[in-house]
Structure 1
Amino acid sequence: MSDHAANKPLKFIVDFGPLIVFFVAYKMAGLMSATLALIIATVLALGIGYAATRRVALMPLITAVVVVIFGGLTLWLQDKTFIKMKPTIVQGIFALILFGGLLFKRPTLQYVMSDALKLTDTGWRQLTLRFALFFTFMAVLNEIVWRNVSEDLWIDFKVFGIFGLTILFTLSQMPLMKRHMIEPADQG
């Protein structure tokens, strides 16, 4: 079994474990308990990921910091608004990082994904711009959803909607990625 294959279950736990814990805790005990469970699960997942790889990826780190801050504010002030804004803040930060990278002519997405994907410079710029626009859209969408639907519906959107839309968006970028893919022979 390769290292990459061995890390897939760990990556799944680190990436999706906190979200699963949040959803189950919400169904069992409500949003405040789910928020506490999310904070604990996120910190644990970050620690497990670090223990296994001896590094912390930027996106999970940003997410963890925002979870701890906004989850902590939710619990401390007993105000659900903060945890509902968390996806907006995370998506907004990702968008700003990507737009900033483009502004400084350093497509940030390339640094995050270059181990898994080899693209031309044009491909990286286009993909980074598209993801920056997508994260901006998702931040706005979360604001619209949490302010206009029931808490139960927002939870479903947070757990399933954001994930589903992200998968669909990523899949829709496959033609761009294929068009700008650098083949192994082209790299040398």
Structure 2
Amino acid sequence: MTDKTKTAGREINPLLKQVLELGPPLAFFFIYLRLRDDSFLIAGTEYSGFIVATVLFVPIMLAAMGILWMMTGKLSRMQIFTAFMVIFFGGLTAWFNDERFFKMKTTLVYGFFAAMLGLGLLQGRSYLAYVLSDVLPMRHEGWMILTRRLCAGFTVLALANEFVWRTMSTDLWVKIETFGFPLALMAFLMLQFNLLQTYMEHED
């Protein structure tokens, strides 16, 4: 199988899967660019373009996840947790008319992942192995090394988000949130897998 990804007994084109996963953040980015200089009077309350873009992002993300679920029959725990955080903090952002709630969401998501991995390490376990061992065969030592490094990586991203949104403009935060953090995480993971090749288990 070279052109499709199999998930939960169903097949989905990998390009479509990427569109459904990456499309909503990109949609938020372009909606924000379009609305950032506008303000909207809704039910007697004035909302900035950022907050309106945040509110619009929620149904776009839920629609994409719904399509992905219908096509694959499954959503990962990470996807479900991220969706909950987006809905919860998006709702707080709109309710209190305060963009800081949505910006803090990224810190809490990365911080939660770091905390969960750290909890597993304290127990001498790798929760990464529990989730990914079926698709990435690797010896226990490799999983523990990767878990420690990824725990540290998520901690750095959480702290970086706090620094960015508290000290820099909303424009810059949106760009870093949409492109900077995901690309940094992807590059970090690729580097780790290259460094951990010696721990990979290969079939004869």
Same fold (TM over 0.5): yes
Alpha-carbon deviations, 1:128-181, whole Å to 9, x = none?
A: 111111001100000000000111011111111101211221122133331210
Q: Please tell me whether residue 9 in structure 1 is matched to residue 15 in structure 2.
A: yes
Match of 1:55, SS?
coil
Please, which runs of 5 or more residues in structure 1 have no aligned partner? none
2:4 maps to amino acid = D
Alpha-carbon distance between aligned partners in 2 of 1:99 and 1:93, rounded to the nearest angstrom: 10
Q: Which amino acid in the other structure matches residue 20 of structure 1?
A: L
1:21 aligned to 13, 27, 33, which one? 27
- Count of residues paired in the alignment: 185
Instruction: Flag the structure with higher helix content.
Output: 1
Divergent runs of 4+, >6 A: none
Q: Which amino acid aligns with 2:117?
A: L
What displacement does 1:113 show?
Answer: 2.2
Contact 2:107 2:162 (C-alpha < 8 Å) held by counterparts: yes
Q: Are the aligned partners of 1:18 and 1:38 in contact in 2 as well (CA < 8 Å)?
A: yes
Cα distance, 1:89 vs. partner? 0.8
Once the two structures are TM-superposed, the CA of residue 92 in structure 1 deviates from its matched residue by 0.7
Does the 8 Å CA contact 1:21/1:37 hold for their aligned counterparts?
Answer: no
Output the CA distance in 1 between the equivalents of 2:106 and 2:130: 23
Q: What is the one-letter code of the residue matched to 1:97?
A: M
In 1: Cα distance, 2:181 partner to 2:21 partner: 14
Contact 2:89 2:102 (C-alpha < 8 Å) held by counterparts: yes
Contact 1:21 1:34 in 2 (8 A): no
Q: From the two aligned structures, give the one with the greater strand fraction.
A: 2
Between 7-16 and 19-28, report the one with greater CA deviation: 7-16
SS of match in other structure, 2:5: helix
Report if aligned partners of 1:11, 1:49 keep a CA contact under 8 Å in 2: yes
- Of 72, 75, 81 in structure 1, the residue corresponding to residue 91 of structure 2 is 72
Going from structure 1 to structure 2, the CA distance change for 1:154 and 1:174 (only over 3 Å counts) comes to same
Whether the 8 Å CA contact 2:3–2:14 is kept in 1: the answer is no
- Which stretch of the first structure deviates more once superposed, 112-121 or 135-144? 112-121
Specify the structure having the higher radius of gyration (Cα). Answer: 2
Q: Secondary structure at the match of 1:173?
A: helix
Residue identity over aligned pairs, in percent, reads 37
Output the CA distance in 2 between the equivalents of 1:24 and 1:15. 16
Output the TM-score relative to the length of structure 1. Answer: 0.91
1:167 aligns with 2:186: yes
| Counterpart in the other structure of 1:41 | 60
Does 1:180 find its partner at 2:199?
Answer: yes
1:97 corresponds to 2:103:
no
In 1, Cα distance between the equivalents of 2:3 and 2:168? 45
**1:56 maps onto 2:75 in alignment:** yes
1:108-135 Cα offsets, whole Å, 9 max, x none, are 1113322431110110111011111100
Deviation of residue 14 (structure 1)?
A: 2.9
After superposition, the CA RMSD in angstroms is: 1.6
Matches within 5 A, 1:101-120: 101-120=120-139
The range that moved more, 148-157 or 95-104, is 95-104
